[in-house]
Structure 1
Amino acid sequence: MSDEGDAPVPPSPIDLSTRARGAVTDAVVWLSLAAVLLLAWHVASSLLLILAGIVFAAGLQGGERLLARFLPVRRSIRLGVVIALFLVAVSAFLFFAGTQIAAQAGQLQATLVAQSERLSTLAKDYGLGGSGDPIAAMKAQIGSSVGKILTVLGGVAGVVGSILLIIVFGIFVAADPRLYERGIEWLTPEHRRAATKATLDEMAGMLSRWVGGRIVLMLFEGTFIFLGLSVVGTPLALLLALVTGLLAFIPNLGAIVSGALMIAIGFSAGTTVGLETIGVYLAVQLADQFVSPMIEKRAVDLAPAIVLAAQLIFGVLFGIMGLILADPIVALAKVALAPRTDR
């Protein structure tokens, strides 16, 4: 055998140096993160529904813990009582809202019929009868409206289905939250499980406090809006109070939407009532500026500008669900990043 056979074998092109292996590892991590973000983008609507269910479960858990102070029974019984109270509240809202809307719709229909008959009489008196077949025109208009009605019904069915999914998912999570927490802990390394459990517990407590704070603000705004609108004589005072209370669940933007609706209905009853409605709205919002910080300090302290920016970003990206859930998303991110900040 020649001496050339004893020459050292050159390094293989696939034998990476330490620096190259580190670069490959970093590339794999970033590509995996990009893949996860891409997948999350495609299933964003489902993820938001899951998050909404978790927020609802946190609200149920908070109500159950509050009830434990007055009702020393098994947890499952207390949770059942909270769920029953929630269903009663939703049913009452739908009943009162439906009654108010039906009454207003009947009044509007009667007004339109009377105005139509009046215009028809005036047209006949001045010889301005319409030409063509009015029945045929009506049929054509009805035919063009069928598609729009079906689209609206489909949208309503989708919203109702999403709400039912959120409620059912939230009930399942609230019934046994520790089961799902253990599953998340199992996915983390053993040396990080204690920290993961502490973070999950803090997130659950924060969500419960946040939901409780929003409910208190909803009751505060809804009650005082109803009292104020009833005093000044704004139409649909109860319905407006219910809508205002519900929209108070959305910080910042909810008050703007409810205020615009309230003022529009107030001016429909006259200029004086409209101006008084503006006064009621401003008075309640001014009082809310004093009450809200005290409640939010005990729940979760977030900078208003950050919350508003998150609402705008998530609203543009994910629509109404992103707008509603922007606040809890920011709060969860704050809790998740708190241990890193402490270190």
Structure 2
Amino acid sequence: MSGDRPGELVTEPSPHEMRDPETRRELKRASVWLGLAAAMALVVILIQPILIIMAGLVFASMLDGGVRLLGRVLKIGRGWRLMIVVVLTVLFVGLTVYKTGSGIVVQFHQLQSTLTVQFDRLSQWAAAQGIAPGTDDLKGLTQQALGSVGKLTSWIGTAIGAISTMFIIMVIGVFVAMEPRIYDRGLQWIVPTEYRAEFALTLGRMASQLRRLLAGRLAGMAVEGVLMWIALSLAGIPMALVLGIITGMLAFIPNIGAFVSGVLMISVGFSAGVDKGLAAIFIYFVVQAFDGWVVIPYVARRTVDLPPALTLSMQILASTLFGVLGLALADPLTAMIKVAMERTSERAMEEEPQGALL
């Protein structure tokens, strides 16, 4: 028996050696789980820079859409078309600020004061009716709710942080829009060779879907903002220009943006009188009905039709986890996830044996 010869040489690998197949298999499994845990921890730590980079890519997609649209008219180099788009954007923003800057600042101060007064009146009435806590309690609850967003987005609330964030987003967007092929190739390099074709196809579809989504959103923002401004001006409601700008900007975030702009508009309307408040309610519902029955279906047919419940759920989740920036990026992220899931389903159908379909 082998036990009678203690000096016999052992030739098989030790259970602790990497040559042992079982040990190598378990180490691979452990490496996968540890890698996933490390990646999740890294995402949590670096979520704010990741969101800023994502916003830069979204801005780059907007610029790229403008460059492609301009290419249908002007047969010149991409760099020149990008320069035209950037210059026109800067001129539009600068001219708007120059012509209406002082008036907008005054109206924004008026809007802040009006909303504060209206909130105090509403809270006092609710407290008197016994259906809500007092004003001081409501303010304390509001501060706690704002503070509970967390450290991830606290610095974005400051003016310097917001301006710095927007500048970084614009710089990233311009650089990516200048040479998108470089970054596309760089992303493909980090993917294994056998998966690059599928990755490139999915990435191309994501970019196309994102351009269409943003084009539709920009068109909807312009239509809703201009209509609201004109209607409020004709009704004689104060701060019509600011409310139109806010409505157009919040239209980028459907569902939630329309609700917030409606609350602001009706609050300002009732601050000027009951008749103005009723007119603001009427205008809000008319514009939203026109937007929902005419603008959105028309834009959705030509761009991206995302299910409302899915987008609203994603907006709530993203805003809770990542704050305002997450809320703004919820729809682009949803569109890209939808494309990836659709491509996965297509690939599964292509790989399914033909006999299984019969």
- Taking structure 1 as the reference length, what is the TM-score of the superposition? 0.81
Do 1:54 and 1:170's aligned partners in 2 also have CA atoms closer than 8 Å? yes
Residue identity opposite 2:317 in structure 1: I
**1:79 paired residue number:** 82
Do 2:62 and 2:211's aligned partners in 1 also have CA atoms closer than 8 Å? yes
**2:213 paired residue number:** 210
**1:301 paired residue number:** 305
Aligned length: 300
**1:197 paired residue number:** 200
Distance apart, 1:304 and its partner CA: 1.1
Do 2:17 and 2:23's aligned partners in 1 also have CA atoms closer than 8 Å? no
1:94 aligns with 2:86: no
Do 2:156 and 2:162's aligned partners in 1 also have CA atoms closer than 8 Å? no
- Written as runs of structure 1 = structure 2, the 5 A alignment for 1:282-293 is 282-290=285-293, 291-293=295-297
Distance apart, 1:283 and its partner CA: 0.6
**2:177 paired residue number:** 174
Segments of structure 2 that go 5 or more residues without pairing to the other structure are 112-153, 349-358
- Taking structure 2 as the reference length, what is the TM-score of the superposition? 0.77
After superposition, the Cα gap between the structure-2 partners of 1:176 and 1:104, relative to the gap in structure 1 and judged at 3 Å, is closer
**1:146 paired residue number:** none
Q: Secondary structure at the match of 2:329?
A: helix
Residue identity opposite 2:256 in structure 1: L
Supply the distance in 2 between the matched residues of 1:103 and 1:40 (Cα, whole angstroms): 41
Do 1:221 and 1:244's aligned partners in 2 also have CA atoms closer than 8 Å? yes
Supply the distance in 2 between the matched residues of 1:78 and 1:155 (Cα, whole angstroms): 35
After superposition, the Cα gap between the structure-2 partners of 1:105 and 1:192, relative to the gap in structure 1 and judged at 3 Å, is closer
**1:49 paired residue number:** 52
**1:249 paired residue number:** 252
- Written as runs of structure 1 = structure 2, the 5 A alignment for 1:109-258 is 155-258=158-261
Distance apart, 1:61 and its partner CA: 0.5
Identical pairs, percent: 42
Structure 1 vs Structure 2 CA RMSD:
2.5
Q: Choose 1 or 2 for highest CA Rg.
A: 1
Do 1:64 and 1:79's aligned partners in 2 also have CA atoms closer than 8 Å? yes
Q: Secondary structure at the match of 2:238?
A: coil
Q: Secondary structure at the match of 1:302?
A: coil
Residue identity opposite 1:179 in structure 2: I
Distance apart, 1:294 and its partner CA: 2.9
Residue identity opposite 2:172 in structure 1: F
Supply the distance in 1 between the matched residues of 2:108 and 2:282 (Cα, whole angstroms): 27
Residue identity opposite 1:217 in structure 2: G
